Every structure is written in C-alpha cells, then in structure tokens.
Structure 1
Amino acid sequence: MAGPVLTTSTVPLPRRPPGPDAPDARLRHWYENDLGWPTVPGRPLRLRTGVLFDVLDVPAEAGARVLRLLAPGSPVALRGDRMELLLAAGGAEEVPGVLEWLEWGAVRLDLRLLGAGGTVRAPARPAGAVTSGRAGTVQGAAVWLRPPEPGRGVEASLPAMPAVGRAGGVPDLVRLLDTVAAHCHRVRLRRSGAGPADSGRNQPLAFS
C-alpha cells in the first residue's frame, strides 16, 4: 500500500521582526557608507570628531543667531537646548586662542568643544530636512537642523581659520566665533539677570 504523498507547503513562514540592532545598523550604514563619516563601535552610535570635523556646542538661542554665517552645506544639529555647529577638523584647538585674541578670553562663555580623540552621539537620520523652529529631542538624542547630504563632502563647507588659497565661500572661523561669543554672553546675562554693570568680563573663560 502506497504511503501518503508529501507536498511542499506554499504557506510563507512568519516574518521575524527586526532585531533591536536594526535601527542602529541602518543608521551606522548611512553615516559610514552614504556619508563616509567615521563612527565608534558600540551603542549608542557615536561619531568620531577631529577626523572630518570638530564640534562647537553652544546654547541653541545663541547658535540660531549665527546660522546665516554658515555655508548652505554646513550641517548643524540640535540637542535639546544646545546646538552643535561643525567646524573644520583642527578648529577646536584654535578656538581658545581666537577668543583670547578677540578679547573674549576674560568672559565666561557657555561653549563646549570636541576635537581630536573625541566623540559625539550621532543624530538620527532625518526623514526630511528640518528648516526652522526648535525641534524636540528624546532622551538626549540630537536631530539635524541642517542635515548632511550624501555625496557632498562636508569638509569644504565648514568654518576654518583664514588661509591663502581657501575657497571664498568658506565661513571664516574668526568672524563666526566673535558673533557666537557675543550672543552667548547676551544669553548668559539675560538668564542670570545681570545688567550692563555686571558684564562678567572679569570672569575667566569657561569651556564646560
């Protein structure tokens, strides 16, 4: 007697939900393969600073005042009430000296710098460009106010020290820092309730 006939089932197997690493893997692929930005192994995903760019972290209120000084292709991230401005690699080392030269060295400014050997948490890949307003963040994650564009080298658009032979459209780091410092100082005075007589110019420069 012939046995039962076995047939191959055509019912598809249930799809497995993406693993917990899937979003991070996609984000890492975007940064490393689409943008060519170096990342750091592990979670949460972090970007290396001092390779393609440095980061100048300022109060968002002050940062918003200097966006017009940046080149159109210069990425800017928003993290809560802080704004992260990208500088040309090596720029972080120049900032303290430039501020001293601009006579801001005696003023306490709410600036943070990330350069060679540093890392910054990677902003999420934008679903669409954010062009204005204050974007919300979740658990300290940043969002791109001006997202980077794949296929467009970021280095050429970042603020740098003036140098012979640099493209005319590259923002001047000295001018940018002078404007940033002025607005950071105004933000600090307003938050502290200090008046013109208490300008804070007798206090040391502080990078936190």
Structure 2
Amino acid sequence: MVGTRPKINTDLASIPLPRRPLDPSDQVRRWYENELGWPVVPAAPGTPLTLRVGLRFDVLDVPTEAGRAALRHLAPDSPVAVQGDRMRLLMAAGSAEEVPGVLDWLEWGALPLDLTALGEGDLMEAPLPPERRPVTAVRPLAVLGSPALVRHLAAGPVSAGPGPAAAAVRCPVDAGPGGAVRRPGLPGQCGVRSLPLDRSGAVQGAAVWLRPPEPGGEVDASLPTLSALGGGGGAPDLVRVLGTVATHCHRLGLRRACVQPSACP
C-alpha cells in the first residue's frame, strides 16, 4: 500500500520567527533577583541597572583608599563594590541611619568627611555579576597599593596574614604581558575581582564587584552592623569600619588641602 505524502505548508506567515537572544541587562537582572533576591529597578535601554538600597542592605560610599583600609574589619564574604575612585561597602539594612550618631560618638561628626551613607529610598548602580565581566586584566595599584605588593603578587600565592592587603587577596596570580597581573581562572575563589587595565576597558567607569555576593549564601549575616558591638556574633562591627574609614577620609582631606601652596607652610 502506497501512502500519501503529507502536504507541506508553504505559508511563510505561519513559520515562527527565531527567538531573540536574551538581553544582557535582563540576564543581570535575573541574577540579582533570582540568585540573590535583591530588588532591581527597571532600566531604560542603554542605561545601567540599579539596586534598591535599604531593603536587603545599606551602602557606605567612600574613597577607595579609605575603603581599602577598612577591608580588614569585614568578613571574607562581605560584598564590596568599586566604581571609579569610589568604594561601596555594603552594610546591614538600617545602618545608614546609625552612621551620623556613630561618627559623633567617635568624635568625627564635626569634621567634613568624604563619605556618604545610602539607605532606604536610595539607589546603587548594579555591578556586573562576576561571570559577566568581559575584562580579565587587572591593575592592582588602583586597589591594593604599592609596586612591591604587585611584585609579591606576581611571585606566587598570597598568605592570609594581617592587614587590608591580605584581607583583600586570597588567590594566586601570574604575570601577564606587559607586567599586567592575570587571575588563573578561579571563579568564586578569589577575594579581589579583576579591574580594567585602562580607561578603554569594556567595564571602565561601570560599577564592578571587588568582593561579589555569593548566590545561595547568607549575605545579610556578613554585613557590618551596629548590633555586632559586644554581641559576640559573626557579623562585622560597624563601629570599627566607620572608625577606620573616617580616619582615612580625614587624612585624605588633609593631603588634598596641602596640595594648595597657601595651605601648608
């Protein structure tokens, strides 16, 4: 018995169009909302996503040098972001309201300090998730300090000793072309994430994670909080963080003032 050949539909209008690729900003939004449970503000096309501050965390926005000095007071998994010459230290939700009182108690309240506390109702640019960072080369001098430290990093693994540099770096590196330092492909194991080599980098000017939040982890428990003072818990102490940050902000202010010839003898 000979079967009949099925009729082929030649109507092009009935053929479904190919599915459009997922928008990169939508992928970032899904990472924050699905993996971390952080609310994201919808962004217009071509503009960076922003995170709502004050619900899951508050933010202490400080100069990078001041923030780097405070890293030793944070837990290894405390999220920290950088953008340009600013560092964003994530604090426990509600901490922004405590910052002025703590600075007064530390006798820093009367001085102008280059720091800002972001709380409920504020927004923070959403740093790119670590796996979506297009640039792998780094410039350690912009974040970590001296040329001697760069040479030490290129020499081999870094031990977890005291101080902000050891608190920030816990992974081996190797030297790339032109003296650049490259990470040897250890996603999720390194405390310091890659930064662009120069201003032409793909993520230059964008917010990036120095210490990214780990999906599925207890991010809230790793944030500095005022309740950690004398509480014996595992959360970092906000008072120590603010004391260190305020001290370095004041030093930076004095250094900038001395740049002016009339300001120093």
Q: Same fold (TM over 0.5)?
A: yes
Equivalent residue letter for 1:144: W
Equivalent AA in structure 2 for residue 185 of structure 1: H
Alignment pair present for 1:107 and 2:111: yes
- Map of 2:141 onto structure 1: none
- Map of 2:57 onto structure 1: 53
- Partners of 1:51 and 1:180 lie apart in 2 by 24
Cα pair 2:76 2:191 within 8 Å, conserved: no
CA contact (8 A) 2:113 2:249 kept: yes
Asked if the contact 2:127/2:208 (under 8 Å) is kept, the reply is yes
What's 1:73 paired with? 77
Q: Retained in 2: the 8 A contact 1:31–1:38?
A: yes
Query: TM-score normalised to the size of structure 1?
Result: 0.79
2:130 is paired with a residue of what secondary structure?
A: coil
Q: Which amino acid aligns with 2:253?
A: R
TM-align CA RMSD: 2.9
Quote the Cα distance in structure 1 between the aligned partners of 2:236 and 2:229. 14
Q: Greater shift after overlay, 186-195 or 89-98? A: 186-195
Say yes or no: does 1:181 pair with 2:231: no
How far apart are the structure 2 equivalents of 1:26 and 1:104?
Answer: 42
Q: Does 1:147 align with 2:246?
A: no
Is residue 21 of structure 2 the alignment partner of residue 18 of structure 1? yes
1:31 is matched by which residue type in structure 2?
Y
Pairwise CA distance, 1:131: 3.6
| Deviation of 1:133 (Å) | 8.1
Would you say how many aligned residue pairs link Structure 1 and Structure 2?
A: 189
1:17-39 deviations in Å (ceiling 9; x for gaps): 636xx101100000000111111
Alignment partner, residue 42 of structure 2: 41
Equivalent position of 1:28 in the other structure: 29
Partner SS for 2:51:
strand
Per-residue CA distance 1:49-102 (angstroms, 9 max, x = gap) = 100100000000111111010011110001010000000000000001110111
CA distance in 2, matches of 1:134, 1:81: 15
Structure 1, gaps ≥5 residues long: 200-208
**3-state DSSP class of the match of 1:99?**
helix
Per the TM alignment, residue 134 of structure 1 is displaced from its structure 2 partner at its CA by 7.7
Query: Which letter does structure 1 place at the counterpart of 2:61?
Result: D
Q: Report if aligned partners of 1:66, 1:176 keep a CA contact under 8 Å in 2.
A: yes
1:177 alignment partner AA? L
Percent identity, aligned pairs only?
A: 58
Q: In the superposition, relative to structure 1, how do residues 135 and 163 fare at CA in structure 2: closer, same or farther (>3 Å)?
A: closer
1:15 Cα offset (Å)? 6.4
State how far apart, in whole Å, the 2-side matches of 1:37 and 1:16 are. 28
1:42 deviation in Å?
Answer: 2.3
1:165 offset after TM fit, Å?
9.1
Higher helix share: 2
Stretches of structure 2 that go unaligned for 5 or more consecutive residues are 1-5, 11-15, 132-186
Alignment of 1:88 with 2:92, yes or no, is: yes
TM-score of the aligned structures, taking structure 2 as reference length: 0.63
Partner amino acid, structure 1, of 2:126: A
CA contact (8 A) 1:78 1:135 kept: no
Does the 8 A contact of 2:221 with 2:234 survive in 1?
Answer: no
